[in-house]
Structure 1
Amino acid sequence: MNDPVDPAAPVDPVRAWRRLADASVLLDGFHALKHALRFGAEVSVAVTADRAAALALADELAPDVREWLDGLLTEVPAATYQGLVPRPHPTAVAALAVRPSRATNLAALAHTPRTAPVVVLDNPRNLGNAGAVIRLAAGFGATGVVTTGTLDPWHPTVVRGGAGLHFATAVERLEVAELPPGPLFALDPEGDDIRGLKLPDDAVLAFGSERSGLSPELRDRADHLLALPMRPQVSSYNLATSVAMTLYHWSATGGAPTASQASRPVS
């Protein structure tokens, strides 16, 4: 007969990690955990190979979450920490969090009126670029980031690139036919110069992959094609750079497009 489990006994973080890992979001490093806590993530377990160093980082860089970290972080041997994560982070901190429900994210994406655009990555290929875009979108206060195609926007490499800021915006994968409501502005070299119009707050901003551009399905659905200024003979910008330029243009200009701009046909 097994001994009864004492509910007051301390939880073994390694056993908890191994039990929860497959169904949880990996927060890889101090900064990912810091951001996730700031934006309300439900953190199930957090470990570090050097608790004193992690709390010192909190004192220096994130005193607002220091108390949470003090209660969450459990120190484990360095070899144990390294065995729990695919790529040990320089800060020797890792945590598991509950992924926001798809229903909650879809409701946030579909809610109107919106006060900030939705970013769409059409068939992205690079996990790190997708993470960088989510970090940008969170920084600009975008409503969310949607991917189409096969890339999982919650892949651990994407979350690592996003520095835990998936919890600061709505991140989901959808079909083109399922995109949130709002005027769809797609970035394309054949589009109108973005400097000639103001992007509305309810815009859906779509970006194709660096190699193949927009998919025919998304291009056909676009209400407007926009182009970023670019020197002749330069092939393209990095995806995250394109998103940054577009979100900055939205934040710097604001407001809805004029009637003449809104009526321009898609070429």
Structure 2
Amino acid sequence: MSGTERGGGSTVDAVRAWRGLAETSVLLDGFHALKHALRFGARVPVALTSDKAAVLALAEDLAPDVTRPLETLLAETDEATLRALVPRLHPTSVAALAVRPSRAAQLETLARLPRTAPVVVLDEPRNLGNAGAVIRLAAGFGATGVVTTGTLDPWHPTVVRGGAGLHFATAVERVDADRLPPGPLFALDAEGEDIRALKLPDDAVLAFGSERSGLSEGLRARAEHLVSLPMRPQVSSYNLATSVGMTLFHWASTSGRPPGTGA
């Protein structure tokens, strides 16, 4: 059931549905997360707000393309009930639950060749907010997807919050380090070749190390290319999301295609 298919239910029904789905669903925290999820085809069974008129006015101002779906989808409840369901309520006073895409479907997308945009690999990341920012960048550049190795769940609520609902605009999954998507592996490393001398292929797998430890030895050893970003001497590193953004910008600027346009 898509977000536009639900309607006519009472607030009581919507709150009951929320309580039944909360443990197994993806929390969309705030207007922008819900907006992006709807735009990119997420299945959204329930959305709640304490001020439906204000949310619809915001949609009309910032994203009129989702106004009509929101009119049908949103159920209004009182502030206390909403905060009981979503303790860390977004300032826009709206939250929704979405269905997480199946792992099989995500992995199929990531493994499909030929590929028209790179896959980003976060090798044993630790910071949830950074992971969310990377997913947002990947979606913006039209990357095929983002995979993580290690223990971090890329669909953790904090990661989804940082991604602003754009998990639904690209494939996102956790994989074992020895089961990365196919394609030539380019690993970002300070000792690598300057990225400005390279043209990254569309089917590249772009690997980035963790914020504290860098690339794992296993992944570094498997990389077909080590790549470095230009950096002023005595500066130790860039933020993870900054590194990903710089690398995807380099790919996009040399690929000859606007982001998200495909082949």
Query: What interval of TM-score do these two structures reach, taking the shorter chain for normalisation?
Result: over 0.9
Superimposed CA distance per residue, residues 58-78 of structure 1 (whole angstroms, 9 cap, x where no aligned partner): 100111111000000011101
**Which one-letter code corresponds to 1:90 in the other structure?**
P
- Residue of structure 1 in register with 2:198 after alignment: 197
List alignment gaps of at least 5 residues for structure 2: 1-7, 257-263
Superimposed CA distance per residue, residues 151-182 of structure 1 (whole angstroms, 9 cap, x where no aligned partner): 00000000000000000000000011110000
The count of corresponding residues between Structure 1 and Structure 2 is 248
Q: CA deviation at 1:85?
A: 1.1
**Which one-letter code corresponds to 2:136 in the other structure?**
R
> Does 2:60 match 1:59?
yes
List alignment gaps of at least 5 residues for structure 1: 1-7, 256-267
**Which one-letter code corresponds to 1:105 in the other structure?**
Q
Q: Distance in 2 between matches of 1:27 and 1:180?
A: 27
Assess if the C-alpha contact under 8 Å between 1:189 and 1:227 holds in 2.
Answer: yes
**Which one-letter code corresponds to 1:118 in the other structure?**
V
**Which one-letter code corresponds to 2:56 in the other structure?**
L
Superimposed CA distance per residue, residues 201-231 of structure 1 (whole angstroms, 9 cap, x where no aligned partner): 0000000012100001111110000000001
SS at match of 1:100: coil
1:54-203 to 2 correspondence within 5 Å?
54-203=55-204
Q: Distance in 1 between matches of 2:76 and 2:9?
A: 17
Q: Percent identity?
A: 78
Assess if the C-alpha contact under 8 Å between 1:184 and 1:222 holds in 2.
Answer: yes
Runs of 4+ in 1 over 6 A off after TM superposition: none
Q: Distance in 2 between matches of 1:223 and 1:91?
A: 46
Assess if the C-alpha contact under 8 Å between 2:121 and 2:148 holds in 1.
Answer: yes
Assess if the C-alpha contact under 8 Å between 1:30 and 1:93 holds in 2.
Answer: yes
- Residue of structure 2 in register with 1:232 after alignment: 233
**Which one-letter code corresponds to 2:125 in the other structure?**
P
SS at match of 1:129: helix
Q: CA deviation at 1:25?
A: 0.3
Q: Distance in 1 between matches of 2:142 and 2:9?
A: 42
Superimposed CA distance per residue, residues 28-51 of structure 1 (whole angstroms, 9 cap, x where no aligned partner): 000000000000000010000110
**Which one-letter code corresponds to 1:33 in the other structure?**
L
- Residue of structure 2 in register with 1:210 after alignment: 211
Root-mean-square deviation over aligned CA pairs? 1.1
Q: Distance in 2 between matches of 1:145 and 1:200?
A: 16
SS at match of 2:34: helix
Distance 1:9 1:222, change over 3 A: closer
Q: Distance in 1 between matches of 2:148 and 2:211?
A: 14
Assess if the C-alpha contact under 8 Å between 1:27 and 1:95 holds in 2.
Answer: yes
Q: CA deviation at 1:86?
A: 3.4
- Residue of structure 2 in register with 1:4 after alignment: none
Q: CA deviation at 1:9?
A: 6.7
SS at match of 1:159: helix
Q: Distance in 1 between matches of 2:123 and 2:109?
A: 20
